[in-house]
Amino acid sequence: MKAASTVALFFILTLSALPGCSRLPVEHQRVTASANEIRIPLKEVSDGKVHFFTYRKSGEKINFFIRTDGRGVLSAYFDACFTCHKHKKGYRAEGTDLICNECSMKFILADEKWDNAQGCSPIMLRSRTEGEYLILKKDDVEKGVKLFSKNAAEMSKEYARITSPAQIYKS
């Protein structure tokens, strides 16, 4: 009986230590804001791959990624989708695809636009290119904290049902 209890405890501890099972978002390369902007050098992100970043607001992680589509256009997205954000698992890059870690929906990196009627779509984050940088407004990124809150119970019902980018950018 003691051996069975020890084995059961081992499995519980092992499963609880796995990062994919956590309800907290992972931490990627950390970025900070200067003069109310997050500036990411184009040379670091314009290689056709997905680049994940973490910005922190009051200790909360806000994850986002940047990708280059097949036309060479850079876009920024929160590392969350409309339907699965409550699980805080984000996305992963595999070969030429971006895959939701919750529902396994695939998005082709080279596609110009990602628009899935089923709801699992990366949430666009406003950005612009200026000189040698991709620039994100600090305020726009910070509004994404609604997607990554440590304690979902503290989120209002409005934020728990985010279904469009317009809801993200509401003050």
List, for residues 65-122, the tens digit of each pLDDT value: 999 988 999 999 999 887 777 778 899 999 999 999 988 989 988 888 776 556 688 8
CATH of the domain at 35: 2.102.10.10
Split into its structural domains, the chain has a count of: 1
Domain that holds residue 125: 24-168
Of 113, 50, 59, 107, whose CA–CA distance to 84 is shortest?
107
Query: Dihedrals φ, ψ of 19, to 5°?
Result: -65, -30
13, part of any domain: no
- pLDDT, tens only, 8-61: 444 443 444 444 444 556 778 899 899 999 999 999 999 889 999 999 998 889
Residue with tokens 């469009």: 164
Residue where the block lists tokens 């440590």: 150
* This prediction's pTM: 0.75
The percent of the chain in helix, strand and coil, each rounded to the nearest 5, is 25, 35, 40
Q: Are 135 and 126 in contact (CB under 8 A)?
A: no
